[in-house]
């Protein structure tokens, strides 16, 4: 195989620890693969697209701790949660700008990612870096206004995601572990912003749930790519067997830890205990969709599958009853 090939075949059963570097996979330097400026989107639309507002739904996890504590109806808490949510959206967007600049060469080889604004030449790296800096400063400032401790968590989140972009995403297992840690930091941020402690079991549920979704994303990418390494740096470090084992462990861990948390929290009310049923249904349905090859875009799956939506609505209704019934 010549060094200019865009993909590298991975022998069956071989699971290397570290993924090949971009140039090992035939990704050409910028001088050899220049981006042609595109006229499809304006600068503002390109900036918004690169900020990825659809991904901000992940930050709804900030509502979990105050919501479980039953304090979301307090005006002060609403303000704290709103600022914390806006802060993490800005911080996440800052990392997306940097990530897309770094990945622009590989993205041009991907059938879908090639339309990203930076890869398509609609947004220059210099403008993207300025947008990242502005988002970072404003996000940390909003977090500091809520609590200095929240700003510290936000800074930790940025360091974690930046290190993922630079290093961890190339290492087998550590990439999905770092993604899971990012979700845990979001949950902790909601508790710190509102002064609500986060239980160990809730943190475990978040960790295993995030590991389940992240492993499912890798599984879907591997199925889509067959046995070749695409633009995802860590994709060639996984086998189907390894990912299915991760999915089984994560599903069992998420369900077990959630059951412990729900039963311990419910007290004399049955509603909290009943939330375990739609929670289990959600996990099993998502696992079934993963088996069919879905999961490469988790948010698209969650908002398009009727059974997942039904399970979410049932869970939310029972959860609210468990918290506010009798108050």
* 191-234 per-position pLDDT tens digit: 999 999 888 999 999 999 999 999 998 888 888 775 444 446 56
User: How many whole angstroms separate alpha carbon 214 and alpha carbon 194?
Assistant: 28
Torsion angles phi and psi, residue 300, rounded to 5? -65, -40
Whether the pLDDT of residue 77 is over 90: the answer is: yes
Q: Please answer whether residues 129 and 94 qualify as being in contact, where contact means their C-beta atoms are separated by less than 8 angstroms.
A: no
pLDDT at 165 (0 to 100):
81
Q: Whole-model pTM above 0.85?
A: no
For the record, the structure tokens of 253 come out as 């861990």
pLDDT at 174 (0 to 100):
86
Distances (CA, A) of 275 to 9, 248, 323: 45, 21, 11
pLDDT one-digit tens code per residue, 18-36? 455 444 444 444 433 444 4
Q: Mean pLDDT, the chain, as a whole number?
A: 84
Confidence at 141, pLDDT banded by 50, 70, 90:
very high
pLDDT at 222 (0 to 100):
83
More reliable by pLDDT, 327 or 148? 148
Whether the pLDDT of residue 243 is over 50: the answer is: yes
Give mean pLDDT, residues 66-80: 91
Whether the pLDDT of residue 6 is over 70: the answer is: no
Distances (CA, A) of 108 to 1, 2, 179: 21, 20, 24
Give mean pLDDT, residues 260-289: 90
pLDDT at 226 (0 to 100):
58
Whether the pLDDT of residue 11 is over 50: the answer is: no
């Amino acid at each position: 195989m010549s060094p200019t090939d865009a993909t590298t075949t991975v022998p069956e059963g071989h699971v290397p620890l570290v993924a090949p570097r971009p140039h090992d996979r035939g990704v050409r330097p910028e001088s050899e693969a220049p981006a042609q400026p595109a006229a499809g989107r304006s600068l503002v639309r390109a900036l918004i697209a690169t900020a990825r507002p659809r991904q901000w739904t992940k930050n709804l996890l900030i509502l979990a701790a105050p919501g479980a504590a039953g304090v979301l109806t307090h005006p002060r808490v609403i303000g704290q949660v709103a600022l914390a949510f806006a802060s993490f959206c800005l911080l996440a967007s800052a990392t997306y700008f940097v990530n897309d600049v770094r990945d622009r060469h590989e993205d041009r080889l991907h059938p879908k990612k090639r339309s990203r604004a930076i890869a398509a030449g609609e947004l220059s790296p210099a403008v993207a870096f300025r947008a990242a800096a502005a988002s970072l400063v404003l996000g940390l400032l909003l977090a500091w206004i809520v609590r200095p401790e929240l700003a510290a968590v936000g800074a930790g989140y940025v360091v974690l995601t930046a290190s993922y972009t630079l290093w961890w995403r190339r290492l087998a297992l550590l990439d999905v572990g770092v993604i899971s840690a990012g979700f845990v930091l979001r949950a902790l941020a909601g508790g710190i912003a509102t002064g609500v402690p986060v239980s160990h079991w809730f943190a475990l549920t978040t960790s295993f749930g995030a590991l389940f979704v992240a492993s499912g994303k890798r599984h879907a990418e591997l199925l889509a790519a067959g046995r070749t390494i695409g633009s995802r740096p860590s994709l060639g470090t996984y086998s189907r067997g390894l990912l299915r084992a991760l999915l089984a462990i994560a599903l069992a861990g998420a369900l077990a830890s959630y059951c412990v948390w729900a039963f311990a929290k419910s007290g004399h009310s049955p509603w909290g205990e009943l939330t375990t049923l739609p929670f289990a249904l959600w996990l099993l349905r998502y696992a079934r969709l993963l088996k069919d090859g879905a999961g490469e875009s988790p948010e698209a799956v969650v908002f398009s599958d009727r059974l997942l939506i039904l399970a979410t609505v049932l869970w939310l209704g029972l959860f609210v009853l468990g918290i506010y019934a009798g108050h």
